[in-house]
Amino acid sequence: MTVATNRRQMFLRLLSRPVLVRRGRALTALVAVVVAASVATATLNLYTDVQAKLHREFRSYGANIVVTAKDGSSLPPEALARVDAALGPHGIAAPFAFAVARTAAGAPVVVAGADFDRVRKLDSWWSVTTWPATLGDALIGKRAYQSLTPKGGPLDLTFQGRTLHVTPTGILTTGAQEDSRVYLSLADFTRWTGIEPSTIEVAVAGSPAEIRAMIGTLAAALPEADVQPVRQMVEAEARVLDKTRATLAASTAVIILTAALCMLATLTASVFDRRKDFAVMRALGASRRTVSALFAAEAAGIGLAGAVLGFALGLGIAAWIGRANFHASVSPRFGIFPEVVIGSVLLALVAALMPISMLRKVQPAVILRGE
């Protein structure tokens, strides 16, 4: 056996024995690294994923883009198909048509035609007693119900001389204009009035930039219509989201910094504790470089092992938070793995070499005497 392999074997032995013999000490150092790495992984994962999750939550507010026909006419018949094609799986669209009809008593009432399946998805805040199931059924707004048919009987509505007999099956409450209207299925409405949809409400999940891009796409797909953002929704969403993300970012920074400093303090303490080992090795003739390399390798090993364990644990924590809070898993970001590993190893090295550089100035004899 050559001297070189002998030396390498000795180095490896010196590296592995303390970990096996003094498991408690190695374990506490490892725990410190795992905690820092897992917290960093979990918070970074959440920080990047939370925006998409919250955008989805905000879509319960309904439409953030409105497509309307120019100057009060109707949209072309294939408008909805074109909007659906432009949206793809990223949003929902619901068409609406409106007309003013008169009741038997001559009172004006707004009647709207809607695609109930799409409306249920788009306007989840609509409070409806029973959704219409068959043709001829109508949804009646709470105020319209109270003033037009307080006993819930059928209604006769007249539009341009044509009378339609509608049976209100469900009562609709929103607190807005919908409460004063009667909603029919689009098929019933068009057959009765001959009016095609004039408005398509669109809900798209995404950042303000993505919504602007979608408005451009929709405007290009429907040059004969006005495509406008619902500023109330878009701006408020951006504002609330910005604040949430900023809070999360600040918390993430505080948590990662603290975890890193804690890890530094713990590792430094554990290296300091081994100053006698250091002194013995020096007294036995090991060079300063060899001893530093030994301690650095040990720290790097703990840093690496801790980072890998912590990364896995952190992904688990992020996934758990995602499931508990958003009922959807947080997609794991393996892209931050190198950062977490490099950060942990670097910190571990700093934690090991800082005390070593201080000990190097002291004579081994002084340390061994216990002073």
Region 268-307 residues binding another protein, contact defined as CB under 8 A: 268-270, 272-273, 276
The string of DSSP codes covering 60-81 is GG--SEEEEEGGG-PPPTTHHH
Site for another protein in 329-368 (CB under 8 A): none
C-beta neighbour count of 67 within 10 angstroms: 27
Binding mask 150-189 for another protein (x = CB under 8 A): -----------------------xxxxx-xx---------
- Which among 1-9, 188-196, 211-219, 243-251 is the span making contact with another protein, rule CB under 8 A? 243-251
Measured CA distances, 77 to 10, 201, 348 (Å)? 82, 15, 66
Please state the closest distance from residue 98 (CB atom) to another protein, in A: 5
Nearer to another protein, 9 or 232 (CB): 232
Instruction: Report if residue 18 touches another protein, rule: CB under 8 A.
Output: no
DSSP state of 332: P
Nearer to another protein, 126 or 159 (CB): 126
Candidate list 45, 169, 185, 198; residue touching another protein; CB under 8 A: 198
Please state the closest distance from residue 242 (CB atom) to another protein, in A: 9
In terms of Cβ atoms closer than 10 Å to its own Cβ (0-12, 13-18, 19+), residue 203 is: buried
Instruction: Report if residue 250 touches another protein, rule: CB under 8 A.
Output: yes
- Which among 102-110, 184-192, 206-214, 285-293 is the span making contact with another protein, rule CB under 8 A? 102-110
Site for another protein in 133-152 (CB under 8 A): 143-144, 147-148
Please state the closest distance from residue 371 (CB atom) to another protein, in A: 12
Report which of 66, 89, 115 is spatially closest to residue 206, judged by C-alpha positions: 89
Q: Which residue has the tokens 């804690």?
A: 262
- Which among 77-85, 131-139, 159-167, 263-271 is the span making contact with another protein, rule CB under 8 A? 263-271
The CA-CA-CA angle for residues 305, 259, 330, to 5°, reads: 75
Nearer to another protein, 43 or 185 (CB): 43
Nearer to another protein, 62 or 132 (CB): 62
Nearer to another protein, 81 or 246 (CB): 246
Instruction: Report if residue 230 touches another protein, rule: CB under 8 A.
Output: yes
Instruction: Report if residue 73 touches another protein, rule: CB under 8 A.
Output: no
Instruction: Report if residue 25 touches another protein, rule: CB under 8 A.
Output: yes
Cα 182 from Cα 107, distance rounded (Å)? 13
Q: Which residue has the tokens 């950042």?
A: 207
Candidate list 92, 215, 321, 352; residue touching another protein; CB under 8 A: 321
Residue 178 CB-half CA count within 13 A: 18
* SS3 of residue 94 by DSSP: strand
Nearer to another protein, 58 or 287 (CB): 58
Nearer to another protein, 291 or 319 (CB): 319
Please state the closest distance from residue 82 (CB atom) to another protein, in A: 20
Residues 6+ apart with CB under 8 A from 109: 100, 101, 102, 103, 144, 148, 157, 180, 181, 182
3-state helix, strand, coil in the chain (%, to 5): 65, 20, 20
Binding mask 30-69 for another protein (x = CB under 8 A): -xx--xx-xx--xx--x---x--xx--xx-xxx---x-x-
Dmax (CA) of the chain: 111
Cα 361 from Cα 222, distance rounded (Å)? 77
Provide the CA 367 distance to its chain's centre, in angstroms: 54
Nearer to another protein, 1 or 324 (CB): 324
The one-letter amino acid code at 292 reads S
Nearer to another protein, 6 or 247 (CB): 247
Please state the closest distance from residue 53 (CB atom) to another protein, in A: 8
DSSP state of 286: -
